[in-house]
Each structure stands twice: as structure tokens, then as C-alpha cells.
């Protein structure tokens, strides 16, 4: 957008907002942005070039996309709908519904067998393996019996086992929170993260509490509660930063601190706050340099490589596709989980879409699907990108693209 185009667009947004009787703060809250970002849009300072952000604004204003931006691509013709599939985490959601060990509360007992500890450790580890590989149906089935077992064990085991059992419960709830975020069920993720924080505190592992706050902030971001996400994360960063500055930090302290800086980068990027987002990426890079290796403490996968993956994602969120491609196309993420590798490929596909390199975008999305099919099927950003590719291609869409859209349920 030129400066004149930004001014005209901003005036149109302001007029439509006033016609709806909305304040800047009300509209910003409805679309998950800040009032300062919207003010800059309306004054012609902040450009809005991305189609997904234009759609978000149009939805918030209650108008068709073409009313907001007349030269936007027309809506795709509706395709035949398919039956809605049962969510892969439905069983896991039921596990969160109510107290998982009420029978123990009514009839206190000590029937715990120490021999089950090895099995519980293995089961909790498998939960994270399933989460990192987006195997949500298997994850849900495994959680059904595991969560009640852990909750009962923490209440029936002798004191000597309880700290470890609370720690296993915290890790399990953190995995569940991460999975719910990826399946776009942030309300359930909120509950799981809150339980993870409580269990981590009971385990006597303070850093587990901070890792739980990281999961909680992800839920807030998906709910578009950016003020809550920023408050929770900033409070945690400040407390952990004071500790790190006054003590000799362990690698675990640095891993959690760096991950929280990356969370703040995501929050600021979602709010369209470019300078703040970049500042947090730079702070995460500094922590990663101090750490000097890729680690997976608390399943956060923090280290120099993941910082750059998040830098790619942040650049894409801000519409800086060229920067995202410069950072990401030569990045070797093979040492990280399948989920992290696939996320990088997906974001490179999004960046190429922003640059209108549609062939390259499709290639990256297909590579991501080959590596992590569930991500492409369930991730909002992936499905929105595929819809945009279909919208631009129209009737000329290749068989390969159309098949991908069908698999991701992204035809409508």
C-alpha cells in the first residue's frame, strides 16, 4: 500500500467502525489486536496487506471483504460440504470434565503399589511423543486411563513418591494443553495448563510452573486474550530474569526464560506490534547464545535453532515474508522434533504465499504434510493458507492443490 492508499483504507475502516457504534478498543478486542494497532491503521500509518488480516477486520466490522477492500479477490464458490468429523481429542476433553479422582476423596485409602512407577513414567513420556508428532487420536486414547491413574496415585501413594507423581501429572497436563492449542480448543487448553501449573508447584519444581505459564499463554493467544497472555508471560519473564541475573543459571533456567521471550514475540506479533516482537526475538537469541545448544527442557525445545524457527514464524505473522525466507530456507531443523520441522516448512509455505510464489508455497505445504499430516489438517494457519491458494487459483487450481485442500478440509 502507498501512503495515500493507507490513508484511504484507514478512513474507510474508521467510518465502518463508527457506523457499527464500536470504539477502537471494542473493535480491537473483537479481532484480537490492540487499540494502538487499530489507531495506526485508521490514521494510515499501519499497512494491512495480508488477506487473513483483511478478513479479520471485515469480520469484526460485519461487512463483506470487498466492502472493506474493493480490490480483494472474490470469495471462492462454495463446495459441497462433508460431514463434520469427531474431534480427535474428544476423549481427552472428557478427562478434563470434572474431578478425575472423586472416588478417592470419598474413600481415602493407601492402595498404591510402588511397582507402577516405571509404567507411569513410561506412559507420561509417551504422551509427549504423541503430542510432538501430532498423533491426537492415539494421544486422546492414552490419556483416558492415564490421567485418572496419576490423580489417584498422587492421593494414595506414600509421601516419598508424591513429588515425582505430581511432576508426572504436570508434564501430562502440559502435553494435553499443547495438543488442545494445536487442535484449536483453547478453552480446554486453559484448563489443562492451569492444572499443570498446580501440579508443578506441588511437585516442588518451580520451573515446571513457568513452563505451565508458557502453555497457559498459548491458550490465551488462541482465545485472542492478548492482554492476559502478555500479563501472564511478562510476570513470569520478570521473575525468572531477576533470578537469572542474581544466580548462576542452569541450562533449564535459560531454556524456560528463552521460551517465554519467544512467547512474548508471538503475542506482540499477533498484536501487530513489530518493534516489540523483534525485541523479544533478539532477547531470545541472546539467551540461546548463552545456552549454546538445542535442548528440550520441559518439552519446550528451546535453543538457537528453535529461536530461528520462531523468528520465521514471527516474520510471517508480521507480513515480512522476505525476512522469513531469508532466515528459514537454509535453516537445518533436523535435530528437533517432527512438529518443529513441519512448523518451519508450513511457515515457509505461508511466506511464499505472501510473496505470491504459489508453486513454492504448495511445495512447502506438501512437504509439511508429508512430515506431519495432522498439522496440515488441524492448524488454522495452514488451512487458511491453503484456502488462499485455492482462492487465487480458482478453477485453474492444480489437481495437487485441490487434493491438498480436500485433505485439509479447506475447500470452503
pLDDT in tens, 173-205: 999 999 999 888 999 999 999 999 999 999 999
Give the pTM: 0.79
pLDDT at position 135 over 90: no
pLDDT at position 76 over 70: no
- The pLDDT value recorded for residue 77 is 46
- Segments of the chain assigned to CATH 1.10.260.40: 3-68
Nearest to 284 by CA among 314, 312, 309, 304: 304
- The pLDDT value recorded for residue 67 is 82
Instruction: State what percent of residues in the chain have pLDDT above 90.
Output: 56
177-204 as b/e: b if 16+ CB within 10 A: bbbbbbbebbebbbbbbbbbbbbbebbe
What is the CATH architecture assignment of 3-68? Answer: Orthogonal Bundle (1.10)
Report residue 359 as a C-alpha cell: 508453486
Question: What does the mean pLDDT of the chain come to?
Answer: 88
Contact predicate 303/332, CB 8 Å: no
Q: How far apart are CA 111 and CA 48, in angstroms?
A: 61
Q: How far apart are CA 3 and CA 98, in angstroms?
A: 54
pLDDT at position 151 over 60: yes
pLDDT tens readout for residues 279-300: 999 999 999 999 999 999 999 9
Contact predicate 221/183, CB 8 Å: no
**C-alpha torsion angle, residues 220, 222, 224, 226 (rounded to 10):** 40
- The pLDDT value recorded for residue 1 is 62
Q: How far apart are CA 314 and CA 324, in angstroms?
A: 8
Q: How far apart are CA 221 and CA 381, in angstroms?
A: 14
pLDDT at position 78 over 70: no
Q: How far is CA 106 from CA 67, 77, 155, 176, 328, in A?
A: 61, 58, 12, 27, 55
Report residue 327 as a C-alpha cell: 532466515
Q: How far apart are CA 63 and CA 16, in angstroms?
A: 9
pLDDT at position 331 over 90: yes
Torsion angles phi and psi, residue 158, rounded to 5: -60, 155
pLDDT at position 82 over 60: no
Q: How far apart are CA 60 and CA 69, in angstroms?
A: 14
Sequence-ordered list of residues with C-beta below 8 angstroms from that of 309, at least 6 positions apart, any chain: 328, 331, 333, 336, 340, 343, 344, 347
Give the residue-averaged pLDDT of 70-86.
Answer: 51
Torsion angles phi and psi, residue 179, rounded to 5: -65, -40
**Banded pLDDT at 85 (limits 50, 70, 90):** very low
**Banded pLDDT at 87 (limits 50, 70, 90):** low
Residue pointed to by grid coordinates 457499527: 20
Sequence-ordered list of residues with C-beta below 8 angstroms from that of 46, at least 6 positions apart, any chain: 6, 37, 40, 272
Amino acid at each position: 500500500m502507498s501512503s495515500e492508499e493507507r490513508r484511504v483504507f484507514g478512513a474507510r475502516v474508521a467510518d465502518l467502525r463508527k457506523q457499527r457504534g464500536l470504539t477502537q478498543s471494542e473493535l480491537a478486542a473483537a479481532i484480537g489486536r490492540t487499540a494502538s494497532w487499530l489507531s495506526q491503521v485508521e490514521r494510515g500509518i499501519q499497512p494491512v496487506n495480508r488477506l487473513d488480516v483483511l478478513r479479520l477486520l471485515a469480520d469484526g466490522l460485519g461487512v463483506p471483504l470487498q466492502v472493506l477492500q474493493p480490490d480483494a479477490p472474490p470469495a471462492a464458490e462454495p463446495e459441497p460440504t462433508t460431514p463434520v468429523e469427531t474431534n480427535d481429542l474428544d476423549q481427552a476433553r472428557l478427562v478434563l470434565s470434572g474431578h478425575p479422582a472423586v472416588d478417592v476423596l470419598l474413600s481415602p485409602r493407601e492402595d498404591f503399589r510402588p511397582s507402577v512407577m516405571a509404567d507411569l513414567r513410561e506412559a507420561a513420556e509417551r504422551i509427549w511423543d504423541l503430542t510432538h508428532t501430532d498423533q491426537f487420536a492415539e494421544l486422546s486414547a492414552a490419556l483416558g486411563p492415564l490421567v485418572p491413574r496419576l490423580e489417584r496415585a498422587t492421593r494414595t501413594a506414600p509421601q516419598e513418591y508424591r513429588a515425582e507423581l505430581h511432576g508426572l501429572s504436570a508434564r501430562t497436563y502440559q502435553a494435553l494443553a499443547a495438543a488442545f492449542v494445536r487442535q484449536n480448543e483453547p478453552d480446554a487448553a486453559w484448563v489443562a495448563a492451569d492444572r499443570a501449573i498446580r501440579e508443578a508447584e506441588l511437585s516442588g519444581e518451580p520451573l515446571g510452573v513457568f513452563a505451565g505459564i508458557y502453555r497457559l499463554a498459548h491458550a490465551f493467544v488462541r482465545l485472542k486474550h492478548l492482554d492476559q497472555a502478555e500479563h501472564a508471560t511478562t510476570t513470569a519473564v520478570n521473575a525468572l530474569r531477576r533470578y537469572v541475573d542474581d544466580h548462576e543459571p542452569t541450562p533449564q533456567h535459560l531454556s524456560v526464560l528463552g521460551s517465554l521471550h519467544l512467547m512474548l514475540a508471538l503475542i506482540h506479533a499477533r498484536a501487530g506490534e513489530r518493534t516489540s516482537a523483534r525485541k523479544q526475538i533478539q532477547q531470545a537469541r541472546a539467551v540461546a547464545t548463552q545456552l549454546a545448544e538445542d535442548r528440550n527442557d520441559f518439552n519446550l525445545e528451546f535453543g538457537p535453532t528453535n529461536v530461528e524457527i520462531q523468528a520465521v514464524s514471527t516474520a510471517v505473522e508480521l507480513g515480512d515474508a522476505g525476512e522469513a525466507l531469508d532466515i528459514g530456507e537454509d535453516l537445518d531443523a533436523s535435530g528437533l522434533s517432527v512438529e518443529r520441522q513441519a512448523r518451519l516448512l508450513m511457515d515457509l509455505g505461508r511466506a511464499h504465499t505472501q510473496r505470491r510464489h504459489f508453486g513454492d508455497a504448495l511445495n512447502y505445504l506438501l512437504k509439511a504434510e508429508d512430515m506431519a499430516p495432522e498439522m496440515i489438517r488441524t492448524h488454522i494457519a495452514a488451512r487458511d493458507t491453503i484456502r488462499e491458494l485455492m482462492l487465487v487459483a480458482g478453477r485453474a487450481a492444480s489437481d495437487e492443490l485441490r487434493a491438498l485442500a480436500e485433505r485439509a478440509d479447506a475447500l470452503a
